[in-house]
Amino acid sequence: MIGRDELHGVLVPVVTPFLPSGELDLASYTRYVEKLAEHHINGLIINGTTGEAPTVRWDEVVQLTRATQQILKEKHRSIPVIIGTGTNDTLTTIQRTEQAAALGADAVLVVVPYYSKPSQEGIIEHFRRVTEVGVPVIAYEIPARTGVRLTMHTAKTIMEMEGVIGMKDSSDGLELVTELTRQDAGAVLCGDDLYYHAKLSQGASGGILASANLYTDIFIEVHDLVQKGRVMEGKRSFDRVVPLIRKLFQEPNPAPIKWVLANQGVIASDHLRLPMTRISQPLQKELAQLLTGIEAALN
Ligand SMILES: O=C(O)C1=N[C@H](C(=O)O)C[C@H](O)C1
């Protein structure tokens, strides 16, 4: 299990590869995670938004976790394994968190309960109950997806809970990270890829970034430069991937990332489970051109 001090750097939310039939593709997953584990990343997130949590069954989460642990063991890599257990039902979230603990998760990622638009007290109580399981919790604020926004008081209250080691901040702005880090409330990880450099500059200790599935070392370099106070160099480095990030979020995540990974032969297929669909032909063309340009600039 990990603590607040270990929540920094680049944590990669993994995709869940499927065969064209829709079945889990563990062979692709193994190839893909073996490749990711070669980078100096500080965590792998299973069953996040990028992992298509809404359509992945829990027994599949178990298979993905065991496969990940096996790969890391074989490669002698001790990268924290974090499992997304958050749902919009407190009891289900507790049960999944207990199961994640039994699986040996180093921490769990718990999204603010979505869709039902609970009160701030309800959200606080949701997190309080989940922390009672005893596995470290990373709270996940993503108002554009949940339909509810944490007040600063709620965010601070959650961060102060024993058992909460940090927050993934996917809010569309700098207010949350600025205020939480100013008040030394704990580790804040950027979860909104375009804001990565800005949030690091405002005190975030790292990021959980779908786009770090590609050019992982650039995202690591940006983090390291900002941590060393070389903020403008960090920005220049980050600028190289900004056009790519824009394209990766032009259509719903993780469809564009899956297309790139399939196109590069890392995974066998860009299949997504409905209601998610593969990216449009125009975006495929734009991404292919952009990646060729980035490769040329980097070589
Ligand atoms: O899966 C994740 O974790 C992420 N999800 C966000 C989203 O899809 O909204 C984006 C972020 O890069 C990581």
Q: What is the pLDDT of residues 240-283, one digit of tens each?
A: 999 999 999 999 999 999 999 999 999 999 999 999 999 999 99
Distance from residue 214's CA to the centre of ligand 1 (Å) = 14
Q: To the nearest whole percent, how much of the chain has pLDDT over 90?
A: 98
Q: What is the pLDDT of residues 128-152, one digit of tens each?
A: 999 999 999 999 999 999 999 999 9
- 115 as an active site residue: the answer is no
- 32 as an active site residue: the answer is no
Q: What's the rounded mean pLDDT across residues 209-213?
A: 98
Q: What is the pLDDT of residues 149-201, one digit of tens each?
A: 999 999 999 999 999 999 999 998 999 999 999 999 999 999 999 999 999 99
Ligand 1: nearest atom to the Cα of 109: 3
pLDDT band of 214, cuts 50, 70, 90:
very high
Residue type (1 letter), 135: V
Ligand 1: nearest atom to the Cα of 212: 12
CA 292 and chain centroid, separation: 26
pLDDT, residue 79, reads 98
Is 85 among the annotated ligand-binding positions?
Answer: no
Q: To the nearest whole percent, how much of the chain has pLDDT over 70?
A: 100
Q: Which among 281, 211, 75 is positioned nearest to 222, based on CA atoms?
A: 211
Q: What is the pLDDT of residues 71-124, one digit of tens each?
A: 999 999 999 999 999 999 999 999 999 999 999 999 999 999 999 999 999 999
Distance from residue 160's CA to the centre of ligand 1 (Å) = 24
pLDDT, residue 298, reads 86
Phi-psi region of 108 (alpha: psi -120 to 50; beta: other; left: phi over 0): beta
Q: 281 near 238, Cβ under 8 Å?
A: no
ipTM associated with this complex: 0.94
pLDDT, residue 299, reads 82
Identify the active-site residue in 140, 195, 196, 215. 140
Element (H, E) at 120: helix 120-131
Who contacts 286 (Cβ-Cβ below 8 Å, separation ≥6)?
247, 250
Q: What's the rounded mean pLDDT across residues 13-27?
A: 98
Mutation pick for ligand 1 pocket among 253, 258, 276 (CB with most ligand atoms within 8 Å): 253
| Exposed e or buried b per residue across 202-222, where buried means at least 16 C-beta atoms within 10 angstroms of its C-beta | bbbbbbbbbbbbbbbebbbbb
